[in-house]
Amino acid sequence: MNTHTQARPSVVRPPTPPRLVVLAAHAAPFRLYVVFLLLLVASVAWRRGAYFSGGVDSVVLAKAGLTMLAFLIAALTPRPRGATATLRGAPLLWLLAYLSVATVGAFLVGDPLPSFVLAARVGLLALTVLLVMLSHPWPTALSALAGSMLLLAAFGAATGVSSLAETGRLYGGIPPLNANAICFLVSVPLVITFWRCVTDGGRWFEYAALPVMLGVVWLTGARTGLAALVLALLLVLAMTPRIPAVVAVLCAACVPFVLYLTFFTGLLVEYVGRGGVSDLVTLNSRTVAWRSALDYHDTVPGRLFGGGLSLKEVPVSAMYRSEQIIDSTWVSALLQAGYLGLGLLVLLVLSTAIAALRMPPPYAAVTVALVAMLSVVSILESGMFDTTPAFILFFMLVLVTHRVRGHDGADRLGGA
């Protein structure tokens, strides 16, 4: 009789990647918050109505110094062995191609120096994000980015709360954030927090933070931002197969409240119709600049390659102004990088959306929601492919969705 028993082979399970957590101190290492805060502060506006045109002053040098400091911290952070092997080259090639097209356009039809400097800043920003993603699991990195966005928005809103009495909208004080910028900075952590509540129940302080963040978005008066946020929240609900009972009850309880605001009060109508019906129909005069941008380049090189990243305003024939900012990422891409750059950007956004849909649950819901929110905002706001917080989030989502997976389908980028 054989008394030896055969030992059962142990089952090695892949490590579970950390969850997306925004409102918790242990969500990410402190160093990661420092890197993203430096990048965010360097990418938001420090002066209202001022754009980089090639000169060097204290603000330009300070922003460059903050970005370089963030890059050095990210570069000195240890990375897991073989981390670079998990990276796909397509996102980097897309980014390099877009920046190259815009830079060539600047040399052909515009002023090359400011556009070259801006292209270098975008490249350094993207490289810093890449180093962060190679050093940390992507849920940890995205959690730190969202938490840093919330901290910056809270500080800016607290120092600029007096703008509510002056303009009726919430603007930043230090730094002088635009109302739309505050809306975006709050919307990203709001979507992630809502996703956590929907997928795993969340915690009590996350439920308490949701109406507070939604209230801040409302105070900014950002109509496009609010519409994009609502779409993102609906996508999270639609793509979550099993919703906790408490979340389902709370969502059902919100329906009568929303219907009451819509049909029995004038709050929603006043919010949407800010500036009058005529102002809303003309998309706040954006179409004036769009039509001018379509006819701006009258040469073949200009139409193909654009005029460079520094080209942000176009001459217009309108009352009280002779120049106007291009408030659209897509029209800006056509103006700055021509039809070649616009095509590259369209392909990159579409491939990112498709790759987000293919992510395993429950992460597909949050990545699709964030990509959709960015896409909607990009229609009426510029900056998704510039030195902005929107670009930081967008490029991070590009890296997350275009990543190498293991044989078991687990995420390998950043060691998760």
CA 45 vs CA 183, 258, 352, 373, 389: distances in Å: 15, 34, 27, 21, 11
pTM beyond 0.95: the answer is no
* 17-21, 181-185, 280-284: range with lowest mean pLDDT: 280-284
Instruction: Check: CB of residue 393 under 8 Å from CB of residue 403.
Output: no
Which of the residue ranges 11-15, 65-69, 304-308, 398-402 would you say has the lowest mean pLDDT? 11-15
**Is the predicted pLDDT of residue 268 greater than 80, yes or no?**
no
Angstrom distance (rounded) from CA 170 to CA 166: 9
Q: Are 141 and 132 in contact (CB under 8 A)?
A: yes
Q: List the one residue out of 170, 172, 206, 174 whose CA is nearest residue 189.
A: 206
Query: Which of 267 and 141 is assigned the larger pLDDT?
Result: 141
pLDDT at 200: 84
Alpha-carbon distance values, 322 to 53, 142, 289, 401 (Å): 18, 41, 10, 42
Contact status, residue 409 vs residue 363, Cβ threshold 8 Å: no
Query: Averaged over 108-134, what is the pLDDT?
Result: 91
Look at residue 47 in the predicted model and tell me its pLDDT.
84
> Would the pLDDT of 412 be above 80?
no
Between 278 and 379, name the one with better pLDDT.
379
**Per-residue pLDDT for 413 more than 50?**
no
Summarize pLDDT for 27-80 with one digit per residue, the tens.
Answer: 789 999 999 999 999 999 988 766 666 667 788 899 999 999 999 999 999 988
What average pLDDT does this structure show over 169-186?
Answer: 95
